[in-house]
Amino acid sequence: MTGLAIDMSRLREFERWLDPQHPERSPIPARVLGYGEISTVFEIEAEGLQGLAFKRLPIFRSAVEMEQYRTVYEEYDRLLQQEIGIRIPANGYASFLDDAGRPVFYIVQRKLPYASIGNRALHMLTAQGVCELLRRVLEELRKLWDFNRRQTRVQVAIDGQISNWSIEGFDPEHPAVLPATALWYVDTSTPLFRVQGAEQLDPELFLRSAPSFLVWLLRILYLKDVVNRYYDPRLVVMDLVANFYKEQKADLIPEVLDVANAFFRGSVPGLGLKPIEEAEVRAYYREDAQIWSLYLAMRKVDRFLRTSIARRGYPYILPEKIQR
């Protein structure tokens, strides 16, 4: 464990008795803070683990594989903070073998105020405030794009969607974002970067939580595209804007597109990014939503087959439904 002091004995006890299907009903209960497409963020309601957000990765097949991930995770954290200048909340990790000898890796981060997370704040902000939030996110992303342009040895990727940012000092009673407002980046669990063109994170790890009957199809159709999109500035922004559909804020898309395209022209002209059209965003989100909806449905089928038919455990925490 690094970065944060936690009670490892309590975390091991939590892991021992965790019910992934109903984490809130576990002997040491967990409260879900947010669902991603692949992983879940939660807090553990136990002394010694308070004030922290956990992301559990039960995807490794050996301690060696887990150690390789840890090395990549730490370097990604260093690159973002020290080389690029993107701020990350106090964070660390915990890794151990569970009672059955299976590796488990927890990413641990200081828990930030619920309302400060971007996808929650945008429901409190005025349209002007949302546009200012987008400008601030784009300015943070520009730090990474500038880093990638300055040299060719290391290229760093990022998932810039609005839910991965927290607004420092955000007051839900007086919601506002100003040009000087500081942001925190909260999603470092997919540490994507390339050294001399070689991906440092094993992309096969993305497939570990997929149903076995879908792995071959996902590997052929989607794996490379999903990884590559986070290195492409235009696609990162496309994904960011498309996320407004998922957040039920489609009415703001014309305004945020104006902000994004003005940023392309005025702040990063050297990247030569074409303006993003609203029709592109709509088509992008429609395809993305179909893929992830099918993926979640198939994971639930896989969970049923493992737990109800094969009578085996299912280690992943799944949402019942993700609103799109």
pLDDT on residue 78: 97
Q: Are 54 and 119 found together in one domain?
A: no
Q: Are 101 and 119 found together in one domain?
A: no
Q: Which of 91, 110, 129 is the last residue of a domain?
A: 110
Q: Given a cut of 90, is residue 262 above it in pLDDT?
A: yes
Q: Are 51 and 162 found together in one domain?
A: no
Q: Are 102 and 176 found together in one domain?
A: no
Residues forming a β-bridge with 93: 2, 107
Q: Are 226 and 279 found together in one domain?
A: yes
If you average pLDDT over residues 251-273, what whole number do you get? 96
Q: Are 89 and 144 found together in one domain?
A: no
Cα–Cα distances in angstroms (integers) from residue 188 to residues 41, 164, 250, 306, 317, in the given order: 12, 9, 27, 30, 19
CB atoms within 10 A of CB 100: 7
pLDDT category at 206 given cuts 50, 70, 90 is confident
Q: What percent of the chain has pLDDT over 90?
A: 67
Q: Given a cut of 60, is residue 285 above it in pLDDT?
A: yes
Q: What percent of the chain has pLDDT over 70?
A: 96
Q: Given a cut of 50, is residue 1 above it in pLDDT?
A: no
The alpha carbons of the chain give a radius of gyration, in whole angstroms, of 20
Q: Are 209 and 121 found together in one domain?
A: yes
Poorest-pLDDT segment among 174-188, 196-210, 281-295: 281-295
3-state secondary structure of 86: coil
Establish if 54 belongs to a structural domain.
yes
Establish if 284 belongs to a structural domain.
yes
Establish if 134 belongs to a structural domain.
yes
pLDDT on residue 322: 66
Establish if 206 belongs to a structural domain.
yes
CB-based contact 126:106 (threshold 8 Å): no
Q: How many domains are contained in the chain? A: 2
Establish if 317 belongs to a structural domain.
no
Average pLDDT, the chain: 90
Phi, psi of 188 (to 5 degrees): -115, 15
Q: Are 147 and 276 found together in one domain?
A: yes
Structure token digits, residue 221: 């159709």
Q: Are 61 and 163 found together in one domain?
A: no
Q: What pTM was computed for the model?
A: 0.91
Roughly what angle, to the nearest 10 degrees, separates helices 278-304 and 253-266? 110
CA distance linking residue 140 with residue 322, whole number of Å = 27
Q: Are 134 and 103 found together in one domain?
A: no
Q: Which of 78, 94, 110 is the last residue of a domain?
A: 110
Outline where the chain has alpha helix (H).
Answer: 8-17, 63-78, 118-121, 127-150, 215-221, 223-229, 233-246, 253-266, 278-304
Establish if 318 belongs to a structural domain.
no
- Which residues 6+ apart lie within 8 Å of 321 measured at CB? none
Q: Are 173 and 290 found together in one domain?
A: yes
CB-based contact 17:26 (threshold 8 Å): yes
Cα–Cα distances in angstroms (integers) from residue 299 to residues 215, 284, 287, in the given order: 11, 23, 18
pLDDT on residue 161: 93
Q: Which of 110, 125, 160 is the last residue of a domain?
A: 110
CB-based contact 193:157 (threshold 8 Å): yes
Establish if 319 belongs to a structural domain.
no
CA distance linking residue 229 with residue 239, whole number of Å = 9
pLDDT in tens, 33-92: 887 766 788 999 888 898 999 999 988 999 999 999 999 999 999 999 999 999 999 999
User: What CATH number has the domain bearing residue 66?
Assistant: 3.30.200
Quick one: 6 exposed, middle or buried, by C-beta within 10 A (0-12, 13-18, 19+)? buried
pLDDT in tens, 144-192: 999 999 999 999 999 999 999 999 999 999 999 999 999 999 999 999 9
* Domain region containing 183: 114-309
pLDDT category at 194 given cuts 50, 70, 90 is very high
Establish if 129 belongs to a structural domain.
yes
Residue type, 250: A
Q: Are 61 and 159 found together in one domain?
A: no
CA distance linking residue 99 with residue 101, whole number of Å = 5
